[in-house]
Amino acid sequence: MTFLDRPDEALTPAQRAAGIRLAVFDVDGVMTDGRLYLGPDGGETKTMHIRDGLGLKRLSAAGVEIAVISGRPSPPVAARLADLGVQEVHMACDDKTAKLAELREARSLADGQIAVMGDDLPDLDIMRSAGLALTVADAVPEIREIAHWVSAAPGGHGAVREACELIIAAVEAD
């Protein structure tokens, strides 16, 4: 994993992670490798790393609420997240910024209490508003540029687990 500090900010990613109460994740390119496997009937198949699932469970057990905001619909992904106990699953979300604002206001959270993990341009605004902006090793340059922290693993290959462990360690040490 890589720890990045934006030049104009003094807090390290670990310091930012200590105050996190809500962790928000994108799906495609973060929880998956970003590829869609298309079947002859038009159905889609995606893969998710089992380690990421355990990371989400551990993060929840550490007292951090988890939410997923994705621009694409995916019933199998929603089912997997339900199996993991993730209650805030928002698929086919056209306005990620509005959804994040809704989640923040419903919980009376400050931006600094929210972590967001994204990988591509639709995640840019919600990552900018987060107290801890996380991304995957293979994120687009614009996302890497604003991230406080970059995983060693690419999306769909354990990057979510790395992010969860960063937050867990900081929350438990606080």
Q: Who's near 158: CB < 8 A, 6+ residues apart?
A: 49, 51, 52, 151
Integer Cα distance of 38 and 68 in angstroms: 23
What value, to the nearest 5°, has the Cα angle with vertex 47 and ends 92 and 64?
65
Instruction: Note down the domain range covering 136.
Output: 2-173
Q: Who's near 157: CB < 8 A, 6+ residues apart?
A: 33, 49
Is residue 138 annotated as involved in ligand binding? Answer: no
Of the candidates 167, 165, 135, the one whose C-alpha atom is nearest the C-alpha of residue 150 is 135
pLDDT at residue number 172: 94
CATH of the domain at 92: 3.40.50.1000
pLDDT at residue number 10: 82
What number of helices (H) and strands (E) belong to the chain? 7, 9
Q: Who's near 50: CB < 8 A, 6+ residues apart?
A: none
Query: 111 and 130 in contact (C-beta within 8 Å)?
Result: yes
Domain tally for the chain? 1
- How confident is the chain (174 residues) per 10-residue block, as mean pLDDT? 54 94 98 92 91 98 98 93 96 97 97 97 97 98 97 98 98 89
Task: Write the Ramachandran bin of 41: left for phi over 0, alpha for psi from -120 to 50, otherwise beta.
Answer: alpha
The radius of gyration of the chain's CA atoms, rounded to the nearest angstrom, is: 15
Integer Cα distance of 113 and 111 in angstroms: 5
pTM, to two decimals: 0.92
Is residue 26 annotated as involved in ligand binding? Answer: yes
Integer Cα distance of 2 and 20 in angstroms: 19
pLDDT at residue number 8: 46
